[in-house]
Amino acid sequence: MLEDRLLIWKFKGGSNQALSRIYRKYGDYLLALAAALLEDVNAAEDVVHDVFCKFIESREKFKLAGSLKSFLATCVVNLARDKLRARHLQPCGLDEAAATVLDTNGPEHYAIFGEQARDLNHAIAQLAYEQREVIMLHLRGGMKFREIAGVQGISTNTAKSRYRYGLDKLRTLLSDQKKKNEIN
């Protein structure tokens, strides 16, 4: 995007206003992505903070080959993965992750508080991490399978397969949950 190229140019020139604009433009998105991957809002805030600190440290050497949004998302994913490995966290639910989008006016804002959203969050938490990561990066992050494959170090076909299998499992889990809710 042209605006991103201009912001990077200004940022590399030392403009704190450009950095502030980059943060305002992508901060909430990155926080929601990190929270969805880590299932911990506090850890997600730390990851986004660390990504921007490293981004600032690399100001003079920074070169952008693709999209700034994808670059920052990749940084968040890698740091989130490192945090999960370091803490040996187990998936437990995305209820807190949903709270990070409270200030949006889109349909996500209204769906978060519903029973369906809680069921979906619970089902997503039951997916294998690799499947959940692909689904979150594709649906929430807007990344293409080629980009996801690069982030995960896998082939594009493997990324597509993880996505498809993850969606199939989500359908099954949600169908089971719906049946359970109807019984109760």
CATH architecture observed for domain 2-183: Orthogonal Bundle (1.10)
pTM confidence score:
0.68
The listed range with the strongest mean pLDDT (69-73, 121-125, 139-143) is: 69-73
Q: At what angle do helices 156-183 and 115-125 cross, to 10 degrees?
A: 130
pLDDT at residue 52, rounded to an integer: 94
CB 127 within 8 A of CB 170: yes
- Range with the poorest average pLDDT among 46-55, 136-145, 175-184: 175-184
Average pLDDT of the residues in 136-164: 89
Average pLDDT of the residues in 94-102: 42
Which residue ranges make up each domain of the chain? 2-183
| Residues 2-34 pLDDT 10s | 888 999 999 998 899 999 999 999 999 999 888
CB 149 within 8 A of CB 158: yes
pLDDT at residue 40, rounded to an integer: 81
More confident: 46 or 40 = 46
